[in-house]
Amino acid sequence: MSTLNSPSAAIYTKILFISLMLATYNVTAQQEKQLVRLAKLVIDPAQLDTYNAMLKEEIQASVKIEPGVLTLYAVAEKKDPTHITILEIYASTDAYQSHLKTPHFLKYKEGTKAMVKSIELVETTPLIPDMKIK
């Protein structure tokens, strides 16, 4: 039976420490590859309900089907619900590029283009990159 002061325990402790450091490094490296941005849209008021339904369908499909889509979270301003902001988090630029080619995104893009009065895509840098959204 080994004790905490035995050579095998010391080796085990070092291996455990190195494993934890590598896991932390891998998570940080993955987060640095993420594409995180805000999409700020203004929607035609007469088409807002239709737009919201199409957005909901697209977001639900993307999050469910695409492993590279980590978060798509849409909010509307209380004072003006035609102003919508979407927090987009993709595992990588490649995941984002794949997302743009999916049937559900293309359906959304084509189906809503006449509803969107303006769109601004704001590239961001996460201030706390290891923070997880619950």
Model confidence over 60-93: pLDDT tens digits? 999 999 999 999 999 999 999 999 999 999 999 9
> Which residue is it, tokens 């905490």?
4
Tokens, residue 122: 């704001």
Tokens, residue 71: 């978060």
* Domain 34-123 listed as CATH 3.90.1170.50: no
The Cα–Cα gap between 9 and 42 comes to 61
Q: Which of 116, 33, 113, 98 is nearest to 62 (CA)?
A: 98
Q: Where are the domains of the chain?
A: 1-33, 34-123
SS3 for 69?
A: strand
Query: How does pLDDT run across 32-66, given as a tens digit for each residue?
Result: 689 999 999 999 999 999 999 999 999 999 999 99
Sheet of 69-76, strands arranged across? 69-76, 83-90, 35-43, 116-123
What is the pTM (predicted TM-score) of this model?
Answer: 0.76
State whether the Cα torsion 108-110-115-117 is positive or negative: positive
Examine the pLDDT at 31 and tell me if it is beyond 80: no
